[in-house]
Amino acid sequence: MSGLNLDDFVDLIERPDGSVRRDAEERRQRLVPPAGALGRLDELGEWLSAAQGQVPVRPVERPKVVLFAGDHGVAELDVSARPAGGATALVRAVLDGRSPVAVLARRYGVPLRVVDMALDCDPDQLPAEVTRYRVRRGSGRLDVADTLSAEEAEQAFRAGMAVADEEADAGTDLVVLGDVSVGGTTAAGTLIAALCSTDASVVTGRGGAGIDDLAWMRKCAAIRDGLRRARPVLGDQLRLLAAVGGADLTATTGFLLQSAVRRTPVILDGVVSAACALVAQRVAFRAPDWWLAGQVSGEPAQEKALDRIGLDPLLDHGVTVGEGTGALLSLPLVQAAAALLAELPERD
């Protein structure tokens, strides 16, 4: 995996401006509503002000939903309520405006982007702008083999970085991050269990679509087998992603790190983005300062990952559908925080 040195991110990623945040906190004390009256909105507005590097904070006017998509070979073991190779149908629903995240994005007026990294379909079945970063057709089975070759892992990681650069260059001021996958929560659970040094049963959830007890046991066994393969490469995050992450999770990790380099705030969705954030934190300890956790997904692995990262979800509405839906639901809260701190008058 020559040519890509993840250690560079440690030097490239700086925290949001602490002095700006202090200025934002001082300005908040001068606003008409009493300190504390806006609850967590104060914290969100001050965080965003530091991320933007200015006081008062600018309203969030150019958000973007970015979804990394892929099929996972481990889905062949019936660990998901959806059929193996079924992520293409989910992507089509998003593109056609028929999925929950697409409906909300349309309602909120937020552009939506899908990035195919490893869907199990002919690329001609989807628009070229969706498939242009594809690494392979489906990621490998994490329980018995690497999900990606070394070269594919670097390609996927660089693709995520490129998408982050494209969004920053286009003026996107906040990203709502999600995934469209079948088998992705199994890969995510494996990564989180490995990085948190815990057992498969502790992190195995029911997935966004919900699975029965037999499928849960199969998923738990798959994560257990994946853990045996993940633990020997814990010291090398790119090798870890190649072993058990798959192309979409590898790209998401690259996206998160490069977004932090480019000072682009990101709202995480469910367990998949939480797993990628946990890997990214291992690469660059300052990176999580650029992220918010949008919602509680109900997956035990997500709770464990966010606790390790130190992120407290904004919402807990029992939304398990995935695909960035929960994170997008939290966007108006962030926008409200920015608008209030930007527009409320100061006391005379």
Q: In terms of Cα–Cα distance, which of 195, 179, 177, 178 is closest to 243?
A: 195
Structure tokens at 200: 């498969």
The CA distance from 14 to 53, in Å, is 12
Please, are residues 241 and 253 in contact by the beta-carbon 8 Å criterion? yes
DSSP state of 37: T
Q: In terms of Cα–Cα distance, which of 260, 226, 221 is closest to 14?
A: 260
Cis upstream peptide for 33 (omega within 30°): no
Please, are residues 199 and 226 in contact by the beta-carbon 8 Å criterion? no
Q: In terms of Cα–Cα distance, which of 4, 3, 8 is closest to 284?
A: 8
Phi, psi for residue 3 in degrees, rounded to 5: 95, -15
DSSP state of 242: I
Q: In terms of Cα–Cα distance, which of 8, 15, 11, 12 is closest to 286?
A: 15
Q: Is 323 one of the catalytic residues?
A: yes
Quote the crossing angle between the two packed helices 184-195 and 246-261, to the nearest 10°. Answer: 60
**Longest Cα–Cα distance in the chain:** 68
Q: In terms of Cα–Cα distance, which of 218, 177, 205, 212 is closest to 301?
A: 205
Q: Which one from 25, 323, 343, 346 is the annotated catalytic residue?
A: 323
The CA distance from 22 to 1, in Å, is 41
Structure tokens at 321: 């559908």
Phi, psi for residue 113 in degrees, rounded to 5: -125, 130
- Which residues are known to be catalytic? 323
